[in-house]
């Protein structure tokens, strides 16, 4: 827990732009909420590594969203089922199913579709929110928080040194 | 953490930051680009590493999958020595495939030295496995194993065989006849009761119909009128003309009386027949009760019934197995969803969409099989065997030819025109195949081995999703059985009976539909079984039947008195005739 906290503080305090941090959280939401071995996740990993997305924030957020995905497993399945079986959408799914990308994307599994919809929704919503919160943290809360005894202790610990350059 | 430490930390941080300041400023002046090129290299590097790891591990993974899935299906160990993967051309080779015999774990039911499959890479792009050619070579059967091929827990069919063989002949001598009869709800007593009620009703009706007092009164009135009119006629002949209306009226009354009595003769016949039928049912009652009670011992239909009860087709495990197989067969792939677990988050159930890629998920375009053993050789070919079968676009064909000590062939032609239209034809023949040391069955006393004989089989028929029409005849000519030495009782008689047979035959007929097949199995073994059981059971059954009959007679009582019902009808008939005679006398006079 302390490791995660240290990583988050380090990322927040880094000089990377709020966009880089916010997009990391958003992309982690999609990866965390859907089955790992899916085609879209391969694409997201490419984006994360190719573009300057904050890796620390991505790697910290990913397991947290996976945990959330496991807790919401049942609603995710229902959502996937509802969307896949919606009569007006079936022709579109059929067309997509008969393409190579569609066939390998596994979208026709309820868990993949449900997770992708929920993950993408969280990603879209979380991007401006997390960006605003990061800005607020940096310009308003940073000084206050750094004065807290817990934060000072954390910064003085070996853990902080260990992840300091992450 | 002390305050001193915190101070030191603060000082070191400020010192470090003052040193890094120019460096950071320099970095800020040179903004980093949007791309992280080393990241792309890392991504493809990782992909390469994962791909290589998969290629190296895939043979082991494929072998493990075949072993686990195969063992689950067969109920015994399925083993593959190793799997070879080739990328160009795309091919998979399984070496030394062994499938253990679930019933005899120290030998293989099937073994192949090599199975080579060349795959269509274009089909794999669509997640479909299309085998261009499958070569199966070095097929063997019954080869010995160095280790047991049994799976823990065994398989269900073995339990079914044990159930069939574990026939317990009912212990007739211990039957509690007295309790059985006293507790029984006897049909004879019910019939006697019904008969008596009917007899009473009939008596009542006849008593009213042939009421002597009323009849005598009416006759007296007729007699009086007749006398009065006769005297008037004697006094003056002209009175005959004057009283003609009264004479006519008197004649009409006599006719009415006669008609009423004549009408009773129909009723007499009907009532007599009714009571006669019921009396017959009463007479048959004790026999019906006896048969019903004897059913409790499996002797409702004598020894034949006993055989039906204990060795009927429902106890033939292979028939059961075939029925279960047929019932579990999903003809149309109609299921909406299937489950597949993958990765950390559950992938969930699959929703199926119309597949416009007209190709089955699994297809073997060409199948070549060969193998030999000390006793047989195999040459086989197959074409277009696939799942889902209607997507192959061609009928699946399979032809197996066995040679060696005998000759056998198996031909299958399955044509799925659509998911709801299928026609499959099967034709298999085995001609005089010599048998050596073939296990017929296993009992707790040991194995029943056919040491010699010739096996013949003829299976033919066709199947559609709506209808099955399959006939199979199996025969073992001049069977010589080696029986377990401890065998006794009816089982020994059965074994000896089989040894005396010129032929053991089984006729299996399957009709109905795949969902509700009607399977009938006939065998001359049933007759042998009857004889074997009959030796032991017949005498005891006869004694038991005698005991039950005696107790029944005791409970039912003497039924001979009921026979007197017919005498009453005679009496009623006499009465009717007497009344008619009187009426006739007066009519003649008029």
Over residues B31-78, the pLDDT tens digits come to: 567 888 888 999 999 999 999 999 899 999 999 988 988 888 888 899
What burial class does residue B529 get, using C-beta atoms within 10 Å of its C-beta: 0-12 exposed, 13-18 middle, 19+ buried? buried
The fraction of chain B above a pLDDT of 90, given in percent, is 20
Phi first, then psi, for residue B300 (nearest 5°) are -60, -35
Among A102, A128, A146, residue whose Cα is nearest residue B351: A102
| C-alpha to C-alpha distance for B105 and B154, rounded to whole angstroms | 10
**Binning pLDDT at 50, 70 and 90, where does residue B341 land?**
very low
| C-alpha to C-alpha distance for B556 and B192, rounded to whole angstroms | 9
Residue B494 has a pLDDT of 78
The answer to whether B357 contacts chain A (CB < 8 Å) is: yes
Interface test with A, best of B25, B346, B352, B354 (most A CBs within 10 A): B346
What token pair was written down for B548? Answer: 């039950």
Residue B413: its H or E element: strand B407-418
Yes or no, beta carbons of B32 and A52 under 8 Å apart: yes
Over residues B306-329, the pLDDT tens digits come to: 555 544 443 344 445 445 544 544
Residue B32 has a pLDDT of 67
Yes or no, beta carbons of A109 and B348 under 8 Å apart: yes
Residues paired with residue B439 on neighbouring β-strands, in sequence order:
B449
DSSP reduced 3-state for B420? coil
Lowest mean pLDDT among A108-117, B80-89, B432-441, B504-513: B432-441
Phi first, then psi, for residue B416 (nearest 5°) are -100, 105
The mean pLDDT of B163-187, rounded to a whole number, is 66
Which residues from A are below 8 Å from B353, CB to CB? 90, 93-94, 97-98, 108
Using an 8 Å CB-CB cutoff, list residues of chain A that contact chain B. 15, 33-38, 45-46, 48-52, 66, 69-70, 73, 76-77, 80-81, 84-85, 90, 93-94, 97-98, 100, 103-104, 106, 108-112, 114-115, 152-153, 155-156
Among B92, B289, B304, B107, residue whose Cα is nearest residue B186: B289
Higher pLDDT, B139 or A143: B139
Looking at CA atoms only, how far is residue B323 from chain A in angstroms? 33
Which residues from B are below 8 Å from A77, CB to CB? 346, 348-349
Which residues from B are below 8 Å from A70, CB to CB? 344-345
Which residues from A are below 8 Å from B29, CB to CB? none
The answer to whether B351 contacts chain A (CB < 8 Å) is: yes
Yes or no, beta carbons of B125 and A90 under 8 Å apart: no
Residue B300 has a pLDDT of 58
Which residues from B are below 8 Å from A69, CB to CB? 344-345
Contact B478, B454 (CB under 8 A): yes
Q: Collect all residues with Cβ–Cβ distance below 8 Å to B374 and sequence separation of at least 6.
A: none
Q: Residue ranges of the alpha helices (H) in B210-243?
A: 212-235, 238-242
The answer to whether B55 contacts chain A (CB < 8 Å) is: no
Residue A65 has a pLDDT of 95
Q: What is the ipTM of this complex?
A: 0.81
**Binning pLDDT at 50, 70 and 90, where does residue B376 land?**
confident
| C-alpha to C-alpha distance for B417 and B585, rounded to whole angstroms | 92
Contact B198, B274 (CB under 8 A): yes
B261-284 burial, b if ≥16 CB within 10 A, otherwise e? beebeeebeebbeebeebbebbee
Yes or no, beta carbons of A35 and B347 under 8 Å apart: yes
Over residues B221-279, the pLDDT tens digits come to: 888 888 888 888 888 878 878 888 888 888 888 888 888 888 888 888 888 888 888 88
**How many Cβ pairs within 8 Å bridge chains A and B?**
106
Higher pLDDT, B456 or B88: B456
Which residues from A are below 8 Å from B344, CB to CB? 35-36, 66, 69-70
* Cα nearest neighbour of B1 on chain A: A153
Yes or no, beta carbons of A37 and B343 under 8 Å apart: yes
Residue A114 has a pLDDT of 95
The answer to whether B49 contacts chain A (CB < 8 Å) is: no
Yes or no, beta carbons of B351 and A81 under 8 Å apart: yes
The mean pLDDT of A107-122, rounded to a whole number, is 95
**Binning pLDDT at 50, 70 and 90, where does residue B1 land?**
very low
What token pair was written down for A77? Answer: 């399945």
The answer to whether B54 contacts chain A (CB < 8 Å) is: no
A40-56 burial, b if ≥16 CB within 10 A, otherwise e? bbeebbeebbbbbbbbb
**Binning pLDDT at 50, 70 and 90, where does residue A159 land?**
low
What token pair was written down for B456? Answer: 């013949």
The fraction of chain B above a pLDDT of 70, given in percent, is 80
Is the sign of the CA dihedral B251, B253, B256, B262 positive or negative?
Answer: negative
Which residues from A are below 8 Å from B352, CB to CB? 108
Which residues from A are below 8 Å from B43, CB to CB? 45-46, 49-50
Over residues A11-43, the pLDDT tens digits come to: 766 767 899 999 999 999 999 999 998 999 999
| C-alpha to C-alpha distance for B493 and B542, rounded to whole angstroms | 20
The answer to whether B355 contacts chain A (CB < 8 Å) is: yes
| C-alpha to C-alpha distance for B577 and B583, rounded to whole angstroms | 10
Lowest mean pLDDT among A88-97, B403-412, B547-556: B547-556
Residue B406 has a pLDDT of 87
B569-588 burial, b if ≥16 CB within 10 A, otherwise e? beebbebbeebeebbeebee
* Cα nearest neighbour of A102 on chain B: B126
End-to-end Cα, chain B, rounded Å:
150
Q: Which of B35, B343, B351 sits opposite A108 (nearest CB)?
A: B351
Residues paired with residue B505 on neighbouring β-strands, in sequence order:
B475
| C-alpha to C-alpha distance for A124 and A119, rounded to whole angstroms | 9
Residue B316 has a pLDDT of 43
The interaxial angle of helices B187-209 and B565-589, nearest 10 deg, is 20
DSSP reduced 3-state for B329? coil
**pLDDT at A10 > cutoff 80:** no
Chain centroid to CA B153: 25
Question: What does the mean pLDDT of chain B come to?
Answer: 79
């Amino acid at each position: 827990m302390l490791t995660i906290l240290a990583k988050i503080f380090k990322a927040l305090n880094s000089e990377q732009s709020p966009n880089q941090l916010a997009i990391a959280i958003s992309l982690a939401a999609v990866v965390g909420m859907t089955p790992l071995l899916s085609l879209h996740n391969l694409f997201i990993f490419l984006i994360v590594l190719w573009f300057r997305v904050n890796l620390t924030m991505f790697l910290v957020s990913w397991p947290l969203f996976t945990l959330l995905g496991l807790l919401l497993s049942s609603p995710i399945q229902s959502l996937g089922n509802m969307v896949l079986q919606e009569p007006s959408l079936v022709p579109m799914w059929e067309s997509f199913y008969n393409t190579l990308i569609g066939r390998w994307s596994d979208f026709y599994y309820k868990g993949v579709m449900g997770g992708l919809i929920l993950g993408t929704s969280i990603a879209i919503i979380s991007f401006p929110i997390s960006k605003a919160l990061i800005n607020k943290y940096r310009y308003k809360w940073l000084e206050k928080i750094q004065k807290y005894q817990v934060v000072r202790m954390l910064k003085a610990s070996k853990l902080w040194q260990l992840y300091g350059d992450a | 953490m002390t305050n001193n430490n915190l101070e030191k930390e603060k000082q070191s941080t400020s010192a470090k930051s003052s040193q890094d300041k120019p460096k950071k400023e320099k970095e800020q002046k040179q903004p980093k680009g949007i791309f992280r090129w080393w990241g792309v290299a890392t991504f493809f590097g990782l992909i390469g590493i994962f791909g290589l790891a998969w290629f190296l591990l895939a043979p082991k993974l494929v072998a493990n999958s075949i072993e686990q899935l195969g063992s689950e299906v067969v109920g015994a160990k399925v083993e593959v020595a190793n799997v070879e993967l080739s990328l160009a051309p795309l091919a998979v080779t399984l070496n030394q495939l062994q499938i253990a015999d679930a019933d005899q774990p120290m030998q293989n039911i099937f073994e192949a030295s090599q199975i080579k499959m060349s795959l269509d890479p274009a089909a794999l792009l669509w997640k479909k496995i299309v085998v261009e050619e499958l070569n199966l070579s070095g097929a063997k059967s019954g080869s010995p194993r160095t280790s047991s091929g049994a799976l823990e827990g065994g398989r269900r069919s073995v339990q079914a065989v044990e159930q069939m063989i574990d026939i317990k002949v009912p212990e007739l001598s211990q039957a509690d006849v007295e309790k059985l009869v006293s507790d029984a709800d006897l049909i004879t007593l019910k019939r006697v009761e019904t008969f008596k009620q009917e007899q009473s009703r009939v008596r009542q009706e006849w008593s009213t119909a042939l009421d002597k007092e009323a009849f005598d009164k009416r006759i007296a009135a007729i007699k009086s009128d007749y006398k009065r009119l006769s005297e008037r006629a004697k006094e003056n002949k002209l009175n005959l003309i004057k009283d003609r209306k009264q004479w006519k009226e008197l004649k009409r009354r006599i006719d009415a009386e006669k008609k009423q009595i004549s009408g009773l003769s129909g009723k007499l016949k009907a009532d007599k027949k009714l009571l006669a039928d019921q009396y017959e049912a009463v007479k048959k009652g004790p026999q019906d009760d006896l048969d019903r009670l004897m059913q409790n011992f499996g002797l409702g239909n004598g020894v034949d019934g006993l055989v039906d009860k204990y060795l009927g087709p429902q106890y033939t495990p292979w028939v059961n197995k075939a029925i279960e197989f047929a019932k579990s067969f999903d003809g149309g792939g109609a299921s909406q969803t299937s489950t597949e677990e993958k990765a950390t988050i559950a992938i969930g159930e699959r929703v199926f969409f119309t597949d416009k890629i007209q190709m089955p998920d699994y297809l073997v375009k060409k199948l070549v099989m060969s193998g030999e053993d000390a006793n047989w050789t195999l040459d086989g070919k197959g074409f277009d065997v696939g799942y889902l079968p209607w997507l192959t676009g061609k009928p699946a064909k399979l032809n197996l030819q066995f040679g060696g000590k005998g000759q056998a062939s198996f031909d299958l032609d399955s044509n799925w025109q659509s998911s709801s239209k299928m026609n499959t034809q099967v034709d298999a023949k085995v001609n005089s195949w010599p048998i050596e040391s073939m296990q017929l069955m296993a009992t707790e006393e040991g194995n029943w081995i056919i040491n010699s004989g010739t096996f013949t089989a003829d299976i033919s028929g066709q199947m559609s999703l709506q209808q099955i029409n399959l006939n199979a005849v199996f025969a073992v000519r001049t069977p010589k059985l080696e029986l377990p030495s401890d065998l006794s009782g009816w089982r020994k008689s059965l074994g000896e009976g089989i040894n005396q047979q010129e032929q053991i035959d089984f006729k299996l007929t399957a009709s109905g539909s795949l969902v509700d097949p009607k399977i009938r199995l006939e065998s001359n073994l049933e007759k042998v079984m009857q004889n074997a059981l009959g030796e032991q059971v017949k005498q005891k059954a006869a004694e038991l039947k005698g005991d039950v009959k005696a107790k029944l007679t005791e409970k039912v009582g003497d039924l001979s008195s009921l026979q007197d019902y017919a005498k009453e009808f005679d009496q009623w008939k006499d009465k009717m005739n007497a009344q008619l005679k009187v009426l006739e006398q007066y009519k003649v006079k008029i």
